[in-house]
Amino acid sequence: MYLRKKEGISRAVLVLVPFTALWLATLLGRAQEKPAAPAAANGAAQSEAKQTFESVCAACHGLDARGSERGPDVATRQEAVQKTDAELGQILANGKPASGMPSFAGLGPERLSALVSYIRSLQGRGKEAVLPGDPGKGKSLFYGKAKCAECHSVAGQGGFFASDLTSSGRLGLSGLRAKIVAPDADLDPRRGLVRVVLADGTELTGAVRNESNFSLQLQSFDGTFHLLNKSDLRSQSYVGATGMPRDYESSLSPDEVNDVISYLLRSVAQDPQPVAKPAGGDDN
Ligand code: HEC
Ligand code: HEC
């Protein structure tokens, strides 16, 4: 994850502008859709997705989505669980004809999006019962008082210093809690933040985004990239911290921590990125 992040960061910045535009367009599209698609319609879409899965997909993936000889497990296999909603949606829309997965583009974006949510529910995500708090309050905390969004993004909205948390729901309730209240607990000592001292005595702390025998690219908290020659460094050492604030257990109340966890658990299942542009308001 951390490695992938290093490679991804510059690309992330490059695509940020078009992505933000896309995200805004999506948001506007969804805002217009909302009144026409109340909660009941959403429930109907879910039960329709269940039917589609059982009559079409189960032949290859099994009724419980745990796979058969004709198709892989999409309920518990990590490859499937870790894919984002957008990636799953792409697979459903395009299929993988060469390996036996048909294209289901004909179902249309709404149904594909409902199928993705249904797969998520089979993966055990987004169930009401497992939420320890209020995801709506958690979202406000994430983008407000708790400042998570200064470093992290969800669905493209937020900061780029640390990893995108759109699919962090996969860490589960206790995994998320541990990452939030005790982020440095099981840190690999050769990972995390690095502190360097330059020849003139200046100290810099940040995340290593690129390293070769001769150079080091460090990103400091303010987002700035520093390209350093190793021959100019007096010292380079691991700080023993991820860079994630260590005081959430005291700066947030237990309820607030639960709210943030609920937001992250829920964001995947309930706020899916549409798999394609909404098709002109037709709900069927
Ligand atoms: C004819 C058999 C078949 C049918 C029907 C089928 N699939 Fe698949 N599906 C496959 C195979 C085979 C793969 C593996 C493709 C590969 O090798 O990457 C796959 C892959 C997938 C994946 C990606 C899994 C991963 O880990 O990347 C998802 C998600 C998926 N299918 C969902 C569905 C859904 C939802 C339906 C019904 C709308 C469906 N499939 C219908 C055979 C099928
Ligand atoms: C000052 C920057 C910063 C802030 C603020 C911050 N984090 Fe982090 N967080 C990090 C860094 C750095 C890591 C470790 C490397 C990574 O995942 O990018 C991390 C890791 C995580 C992880 C583990 C991700 C994974 O896939 O292993 C979670 C979950 C997380 N943070 C949640 C939060 C939440 C929730 C908040 C707000 C309550 C928050 N963070 C605030 C910097 C920050």
Provide the pLDDT for residue 265.
Answer: 86
Calculate how far, in angstroms, residue 74's C-alpha sits from the geometric centre of ligand 1: 8
Q: How many helices (H) and strands (E) does the chain have?
A: 10, 7
- The predicted structure's pLDDT at residue 278: 37
- Domain 37-124 identical in fold to domain 194-238: no
Quick one: what percent of the chain has pLDDT higher than 70? 76
Calculate helix-pair angle for 254-270, 109-122, nearest 10 degrees: 130
Q: Which of 9, 179, 258 to mutate to test the pocket of ligand 2 (most atoms within 8 A of CB)?
A: 179
How many Å apart are CA 259 and CA 135, to the nearest integer? 5
Atom 41, ligand 2: residue with shortest CA distance:
148
Task: Give the residue, by CA position, lying nearest to ligand 2 atom 40.
Answer: 148
Q: Token pair for residue 99?
A: 């390996």
Burial of 133 (0-12, 13-18, 19+ CB in 10 A): buried
Question: E strand or H helix at 3, and its extent?
Answer: helix 2-33
Residue 8 has pLDDT above 60, yes or no: no
In single-letter form, the type of residue at position 129 comes to A
Residue 36: pLDDT above 70?
no
- Closest Cα to atom 21, ligand 2: which residue? 179
Task: Give residue-wise pLDDT tens across range 75-120.
Answer: 877 788 878 889 999 999 999 999 999 999 999 999 999 999 889 8
pLDDT at 231: 93
Strand positions, DSSP E, 112-177: 153-154, 157-158
**Which residues are within 8 A (CB) of 12 and not within 5 positions of it... i.e. 6 or more apart?**
160
Residue 43, classed as helix, strand or coil, is: helix
Which segment of 58-67, 83-92, 129-138, 199-208 scores lowest on mean pLDDT?
A: 129-138
Quote the ligand 2 centre to 161 CA distance (angstroms).
9
Give the global pTM.
0.53
Mean pLDDT, all residues of the chain: 79
Residue 267 pLDDT: 66
- Span from the CA of 84 to the centroid of ligand 2 (angstroms): 18
Q: Residue 233: enclosing H or E segment and its boundaries?
A: strand 233-238
Atom 41 of ligand 1: nearest residue by CA position? 57
| Homologous superfamily in CATH for domain 37-124 | Cytochrome c-like domain (1.10.760.10)
Whether residue 129 is predicted with pLDDT greater than 50 in this model: the reply is no
User: Which long-range contacts (C-beta less than 8 Å, at least 24 apart) are formed by 175-178?
Assistant: 176/261, 176/264, 176/265, 177/257, 177/261
Tell the residue nearest (CA) to atom 31 of ligand 1: 101
For 42-78, the pLDDT digits (tens) are 678 888 999 999 999 999 999 889 899 999 999 877 7
Decide which of 1.20.140.10, 2.30.30.100, 1.20.1580.10, 2.40.50.140 is the CATH code for 194-238: 2.30.30.100
Per-residue pLDDT of 141-197, as tens digits, reads 999 999 999 999 998 899 889 988 988 887 888 889 999 999 988 888 888 899 999
pLDDT at position 156 = 84
- Nearest ligand 1 atom to alpha carbon 88: 29
**Segments making up each domain of the chain, as ranges:** 37-124, 194-238
